[in-house]
Structure 1
Amino acid sequence: MSDAQSDKLAFPILIGDIGGTNARFSVLIDAESEPENFPTVQTADFATIDEAIEAVVLKAVSKKPKSAILAIAGPIDGDEIDLTNCDWVVRPKKMISELGFDEVAVLNDFEAQALAVASLTHEDREPIGTLTEATDASRVVLGPGTGLGVAGLVHARNTWFPVPGEGGHVDIGPRSERDLQVFPHLRTIEGRVSAEEIISGRGLVNIYQAVCKADGLEPILKTPPEVTEQGLSGENSQAAETIDLFVGYLGRLAGDLALIFMARGGIFLGGGISPKIIDALRKPRFRAEFEDKAPHTELMKTIPTFVVTHPQAALAGLSSFARTPQSYGISLDGRHWQR
């Protein structure tokens, strides 16, 4: 492992966004070129990340990458990095010895999302509410998908500093009368309702099943896509209420994080679910829950909220870092391995 961060990783660079369900890869030949993208990988289709990289990327590129920078859905601790929501384990030393890389760097997946939030233009985001501009001030990105990722982004001295964390695992509690009816039926983790258990793909199913139980009905929908589709269409009334509650809980958490980071630069909703439910997010409930933070309601009205619509946001953020690492306050100490 390197003792200090070098200015740049050696090109060409393999860039990877590794989530619990999907893995996305691109190769950046040099600092001026556009990334070469590869088909999205289903993590369940390969036993290891190394096999996926070999099959999907290394056998297809004309110029073999010298470096790899990977964004991983899970905490980085040591040189065997477990993903939170799938069975893959990232072993940088093994990648260097067996896949032929000279160096491998690993970031948190929502650190990469934060990099994207710093670098993407207004064309890659959709405002939710009346505020449409994002200033160069502290921001937060959170994204419901397989799990719930959260990261902060602090702007100081003309530099963006991503602040990765595990904010998706904070507690969520009931506030409304309907919450008090639904919450007793939610699945919990050791007795508590964490945000990820209701603001994620499995969270949609968790809420839906709890709504059905609160109404004395037998749940008939089994998967997040079923709940989402029938909820957005209104075909199933319990699924429709699930989408409404999901949007409300996402708004509450987004507001909490905005206060924690004093995120005057905006809150950015990434992940796989937010773009799919953007019509529901445009309805009044999200901003109403977001702003309902007395005694700071007026302050909350001044903070913009956006949905990130770039289809490869994390890869774009990592590419920006790979091109100009000096623009970001990121230390690779402890997560940069070299041959």
Structure 2
Amino acid sequence: MSIDTDHIIPFPILIGDIGGTNARFAILLDANAEPKEFPIIHTADFATIDEAIQAGVLDKTSLQPRSAILAVAGPVKGDEIDLTNCDWVIRPREMIRDLGFEDIVVINDFEAQALAAASLGPEYLEKIGGGEIRESSSRVVVGPGTGLGVSGLVHARHTWFPVPGEGGHVDIGPRTARDFELFPHYETIEGRVSAEQLLCGRGMMNIYRAVCQTSGVTPAASNPSEVTAAWAEASDPAAVETIELFVTYLGRVAGDLALIFMARGGVFLAGGIVQKIIPALQEPRFRQAFEDKAPHSAILANIPTFVITHPLAALSGLAAYARTPVRFGVSTQGRRWKA
């Protein structure tokens, strides 16, 4: 895929992080301005993204963005972009016609998280365990949310290149005796257990229900927030085990991805779920699972892991790209539309 050499994106720029559940928007007036943020939009409240932008952004400001850079949860291909966990379909040509944009760029949501991993300061990174960042080395972002997002970040020619993909759908299997008890009870997708089946909001509930079933107890929690609350209060042994298993599985998958990318620049955990369970991630089991990769455990021990604590990390990454597109090797071929 060739890199678009036209780096000019006209201001003001609407930046948007479109997830399966929520959409977050801000307007960047110029390269030196801080983003003007707007209230979070629940995707289920609007039939289309066009209606959401009109009601949630354009009707609330006198600024008329000339451009839009949107990060979406799903692969970007063609003039109609389906979101993986949301009913919205993004049609950039119609947005240009109906909402007055001159220029629209659409990238994968975890490319935006990767851009954040390249641009956030240490004040927004909570380190988990040992290892040190090796400058200009590859990085990986892993984010359990509505689904499991994964993106790589490769440095070459003084430029950060985000590498989008669907790494959340890799296989994950049992290793311990407890795993072998639980895995037959996990809900599968077409007969297999993918990482996303365990490492996202519904994945957490998948683990919780299996723990309750194999332990012979009635589930007390009905959603991920209740599980994490019960874990934090230590009021439900099934919730406590669920979070322990969640961080263990996350460590295994993060370690696999670190090996795939040889991510000596670090592995960055993104999203609201990991921010809520930082104390569990700080316990030894996450790093033990991350480093348990014989014959390469020594390599993993030297790769640092972080939780991204910025509340709007994807928007921060998009803002960094909007200010200086030339700094990032974001391919816009087939992903940019102009009036």
> TM tier, shorter chain?
over 0.9
For 1:8 and 1:61, the matched residues in 2 are separated by 24
> What letter matches 2:291 in structure 1?
E
Gaps in structure 1 of 5+ consecutive residues: none
Q: SS where residue 268 of structure 1 aligns?
A: strand
Give the stretch that moved more between structures: 97-106 or 225-234: 225-234
For 1:204 and 1:262, the matched residues in 2 are separated by 28
8 Å Cα contact 1:5-1:332 kept in structure 2:
no
8 Å Cα contact 2:125-2:308 kept in structure 1:
yes
Q: Normalising by structure 1, report the TM-score.
A: 0.97
Q: For the structure 1 residues 282 and 134, does the alpha-carbon distance in structure 2 shift closer, same or farther, using more than 3 Å as the test?
A: farther
8 Å Cα contact 2:186-2:207 kept in structure 1:
yes
8 Å Cα contact 2:130-2:302 kept in structure 1:
no
What residue number does 1:226 align with?
226
What residue number does 2:265 align with?
265
**Correspondence list, 1:87-166, <5 A:** 87-131=87-131, 133=133, 135-166=135-166
**Correspondence list, 1:277-296, <5 A:** 277-296=277-296
> What letter matches 2:287 in structure 1?
R
Q: CA deviation at 1:211?
A: 0.7
Matching of residue 55 in structure 1 with residue 55 in structure 2 = yes
What residue number does 1:29 align with?
29
CA displacement, residues 130-174 of structure 1 (integer Å, 9 cap, x when unaligned): 346463310000100111000000011211010000000000000
> What letter matches 1:251 in structure 2?
G
For 2:52 and 2:132, the matched residues in 1 are separated by 39
8 Å Cα contact 1:5-1:331 kept in structure 2:
no
> What letter matches 2:88 in structure 1?
W
The CA RMSD over aligned residues, in Å, is 1.2
8 Å Cα contact 1:8-1:322 kept in structure 2:
no
What residue number does 1:42 align with?
42
How many matched pairs? 337
8 Å Cα contact 1:232-1:280 kept in structure 2:
no
What residue number does 2:7 align with?
7
Q: Which runs of 4+ in 1 moved over 6 A?
A: none
Give the stretch that moved more between structures: 229-238 or 164-173: 229-238
Gaps in structure 2 of 5+ consecutive residues: none
Q: SS where residue 329 of structure 1 aligns?
A: coil
Q: CA deviation at 1:294?
A: 0.5
8 Å Cα contact 2:152-2:163 kept in structure 1:
yes
Q: SS where residue 59 of structure 1 aligns?
A: helix
Percent of paired sites with the same residue: 63
Q: For the structure 1 residues 314 and 140, does the alpha-carbon distance in structure 2 shift closer, same or farther, using more than 3 Å as the test?
A: same
Q: CA deviation at 1:214?
A: 1.1
> What letter matches 1:52 in structure 2?
A
What residue number does 1:214 align with?
214
What residue number does 1:328 align with?
328
Q: Normalising by structure 2, report the TM-score.
A: 0.97
Q: CA deviation at 1:218?
A: 2.7
Q: CA deviation at 1:216?
A: 2.1
